[in-house]
Structure 1
Amino acid sequence: MSLREILIHPDDRLREIAKPVAFPLSDEVKQTIQDMADTMYDAPGVGLAATQIGVALQIAVTDTEWRKEEVRHDGEPIGSRNLKVWINPEFTWKSDEMETWEEGCLSVPEVYGDVSRPAAVRLRWQDMEGDTHEKDFDGFEAVALQHEFDHLIGKLFIDYLSPLKRAMITKKMKKLYKS
């Protein structure tokens, strides 16, 4: 298991636009994906984008189900995990209907805010073998995917909040996580 440092807002690298991933995947990219999964589960979180660990590639990992499971005394979930790897993701459709969810982020620790996003999305992505898939998502999974893929275009969930609230959060992060 290899854990990576999660960048904390306002680190400028969180605003970097990720580049497409070329296939076949290099050993370095495969290791990055494994490190992302290890880091996400350790944090613990339900998603992590490569830009959050300082890698400007269009890769994200999610597992929107594992935290719902019961945990052992050492905090590890009981049962199987459902890791999903998203490479070169692209939304091909978003619903007009919006839903508001309380969001948080591993790169903005201990901060939460209500964000309105499309209630359903259609996503095209590649898997680790380079095969292309397309599927519709709704509910929490749609929210998590939109949140993670925002990272790949340099956007954070706090960008959906009011300018005043964003400024207060940025000030708090600078104070708590002095670089």
Structure 2
Amino acid sequence: MSPDAKPTDFSATRIHETVQQILTAGVLPAIVQAGHPVLRQLAAPYDGQLSDAELGQLIDLMRSVMHKAPGVGLAAPQLGIPLQLAVLEDQFEVDPEVAAVRGREPLPFFAMLNPAYAALGGSSVAFYEGCLSVNGLQAAVVRPEAVRLDFTAPDGSVQQREFSGWQARIVQHETDHVHGILYLDRAELRSISSNAEYSARWAQPDISRARQELGFLPGG
């Protein structure tokens, strides 16, 4: 949780009403962008604000929004819903060299409620990240290379899983969202690049060239 993130003031009823409005709109909702207060709040822990059917419908909708974007994760606050729920999936085809350097392997779809993570081991790695709620930018973020994730599955079972490489990065990014944290909070500010500049200059498998030329993480 961010020390600056205040708990949402949405009641369970208001959360339910917000979800119903989105589910019955008949169109995929827009992704909330940075500057919206919901992205800076500690989302409400899930404790039955929705029926099982509504939760399933919301998860399906979030998966559709994530695919359309396209992205590898989406948290409920990114749809204006201050609820500790996120969906994750990475099935993109990636250049083998990039995948090897970044430890990127396919991540089968799953949804997580009330997630929390802890670093495993002392190894950290830095790579460029983007965010569907921060259009047009990329930045390098140092994150633990492996994490243990504690969460509740949609069926109510309490689960614990371990992730490493790019999967661990996705897990951390989406968990941060429900705690009011954007990846820019953890980013190396000198690394921030527009999507166009990133694609033109820094889209190598690692960040070594960007680090040297932009002057961040000196000595890394």
* Kept after mapping to 1: 8 A contact 2:55/2:154: no
**CA deviations over 1:35-89 (Å, ceiling 9, x no partner):** 111100010000001111111111110102x2227xxxxxxxxxxx932111111
* CA RMSD, 1 decimal: 2.6
Structure 1 residue runs without a partner (length 5+): 70-80, 170-179
**Taking structure 1 as the reference length, what is the TM-score of the superposition?**
0.78
Following TM superposition, where does structure 1 have runs of at least 4 consecutive aligned residues deviating by more than 4 angstroms? 162-166
2:178 is aligned, of 138, 141, 152, to 152
Which secondary structure state, in structure 2, belongs to the residue aligned with residue 104 of structure 1? strand
Write out aligned runs for 1:24-103 (5 A): 26=51, 27-64=53-90, 66-68=91-93, 82-103=108-129
| Equivalent residue, structure 1, for 2:40 | 15
Report the alpha carbon displacement of residue 93 of structure 1 after superposing the two structures with TM.
Answer: 4.2
Larger radius of gyration: 2
In the alignment of these two chains, the number of paired residues is 157
- Given residue 148 of structure 1, which amino acid in structure 2 is its aligned partner? E
Asked whether the equivalents of residues 2 and 35 of structure 1 are also in contact (C-alpha less than 8 Å), the reply is no
* Paired position in structure 2 for 1:76: none
Q: Greater relative contact order (Cα 8 A, min sep 6): structure 1 or 2? A: 1
1:133 to 149, 159, 178: 159
Moved more, 144-153 or 4-13: 4-13
Question: Which ranges of structure 2 fall in alignment gaps of 5 or more residues?
Answer: 1-25, 95-106, 195-220
- 1:163 shift after superposition: 6.1
Structure 1 residue identity aligned to 2:128: E
